[in-house]
């Protein structure tokens, strides 16, 4: 990946609805060069997905959940990874270092729903030793673009 690819990626991370011509104008490349580079970046997995990010409507509740396992093993982690992958309400899941093992971002309609969901998804898992839930009051910064070298 060269400097031009990085410039293109910086642009499409902020707005992937720009035309190839618009991007080319910003990075001094032809439309066809931009098209080829984007095709390669997608084919090689550098660009994992093209998505639209929805504005939060303020409805529902978002939780940040930290959890720790009682027993740790590759099998326990793999089983948990499969479990959380099946829950659409888990928006993000991170296996982390430190005093907790995972951080989950969970979105649901209300706190009462979350109480039921956590019983089903977390309390019923015998490998989870403890989990803590933080209610998100408001989002102060949300960025999906990964900073790239200029």
pLDDT at residue 58, as a whole number:
77
Mean pLDDT, the chain cut into blocks of 10 residues (150 residues total): 94 95 96 97 96 85 96 92 96 96 96 96 95 94 86
- Starting at the edge strand found earlier in the chain, the sheet holding 90-95 runs 90-95, 102-108, 61-69, 128-135
Stated pTM of the model:
0.85
Which pLDDT belongs to residue 150? 59
């Amino acid at each position: 990946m060269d400097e031009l690819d990085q410039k293109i990626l910086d642009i499409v991370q902020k707005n992937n609805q720009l035309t190839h011509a618009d991007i080319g104008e910003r990075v001094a490349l032809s439309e066809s060069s931009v098209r080829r580079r984007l095709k390669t970046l997608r084919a090689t997995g550098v660009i994992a997905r093209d998505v639209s990010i929805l504005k939060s409507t303020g409805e529902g509740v978002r939780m940040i959940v930290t959890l720790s396992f009682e027993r740790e093993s590759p099998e326990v982690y793999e089983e948990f990874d499969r479990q959380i992958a099946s829950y659409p309400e888990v928006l993000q899941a991170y296996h982390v270092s430190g005093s907790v093992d995972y951080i989950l971002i969970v979105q649901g309609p209300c706190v009462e729903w979350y109480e039921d969901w956590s019983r089903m998804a977390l309390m019923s898992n015998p490998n989870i030793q403890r989990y803590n839930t933080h209610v998100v009051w408001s989002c102060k910064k949300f960025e999906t673009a990964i900073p790239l070298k200029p």
